[in-house]
Structure 1
Amino acid sequence: MKKLAIATVLACCVSLSGCGGDDEPAKSDDKASETRDQTLTKAELIEQGDAICKASNEKIDAADDRFIDPENPTEAEFRAAVNDTLVPEVKGQVEDLRALKAPAEDAATINEMLDSIESGLVEVEADPLAILQGDPFADANKIAQDYGFEVCGAS
């Protein structure tokens, strides 16, 4: 196995929305809460999404640090990284992105991207090694990049 294809593939996963679970409950006067309650512009969605992707990608990349030999993770280490890091992170991202209000004219594109991520997750949950045989998130990554994200969906 190559240096955790997980680091590359996982960092490429469309990581559009927060890491999930780490935030305090929002208060009604909380600016972040207000942002989630209002429709974002495309630029705002890209900016917030890329910031979230960056934070999440750092957590996913840190999975390499747990390998005895990061250049050659064992199958067990790889499976654990996918199951314990990748899957929960990406699920949280999808959930958080769905909470953001994309511009009405872009909602179909964003939903298509998120649905594609969820399809990739089904494949990865069934077989974590599927990542080594292809990128189950390739379609979602392309949609993200075509939409204008710079961090999300990037290789």
Structure 2
Amino acid sequence: MKKPLVIAATLAVVLSLGLAACGGDDSSEETLSNSELIAQADQICTDYNEQLDTMNEEAALDENSSRQEIATYISDDLVPLYQEQVDELRSLNPNEEDAAAYNDIVDTLESELQVVEDDPEAAIDAEDP
């Protein structure tokens, strides 16, 4: 059985792939330069990774935790946290040149999150990143 931290790390990798190549802003009308987009997306990811670390410590799951306990933690705690992160990333307004690639990345993140939401136990069996 995978440890909850490994599961969380797997989800973190899935949800952060490619974000170093992009960045983000708030939902204002002004578009962001590539460097602004990268900086803002990175900050969003940093903030959520800190929340994830705290949640994992508080969850106190370990190798003795049942699959059901871990699946419940994933669906009740991790999925909503990552959905908030995806929503914040989606609110960024990339410039026209970066928009297609950035939106593809966020769409992929959301799609992967949906897979985990639909079957939290699949994340337990996912390969280590």
Which structure dedicates a bigger proportion of its chain to helix?
A: 2
Unaligned runs of 5+ in 2: 20-24
1:71, distance to aligned residue in structure 2 (A): 4.2
2:99 aligned with 1:107: yes
The residue type paired with residue 87 of structure 1 is: V
1:43 to 1:72, Cα distance in 2 relative to 1, 3 A = farther
Q: 2:3 maps to which residue?
A: 3
Distance in 2, matches of 1:45 and 1:61, equals 24
Root-mean-square deviation (CA, aligned residues, Å) is: 2.4
User: 5 Å matches for 1:109-124?
Assistant: 109-124=101-116
Distance in 1, matches of 2:94 and 2:110, equals 18
1:72, distance to aligned residue in structure 2 (A): 4.1
TM-score (norm 1): 0.65
Distance in 2, matches of 1:92 and 1:67, equals 19
1:69, distance to aligned residue in structure 2 (A): 4.6
User: 5 Å matches for 1:4-153?
Assistant: 4=4, 5-14=6-15, 36-134=28-126
Paired positions, count: 120
TM-score (norm 2): 0.76
**Structure 1 stretches of 4+ moved >4 Å:** none
Distance in 1, matches of 2:126 and 2:102, equals 23
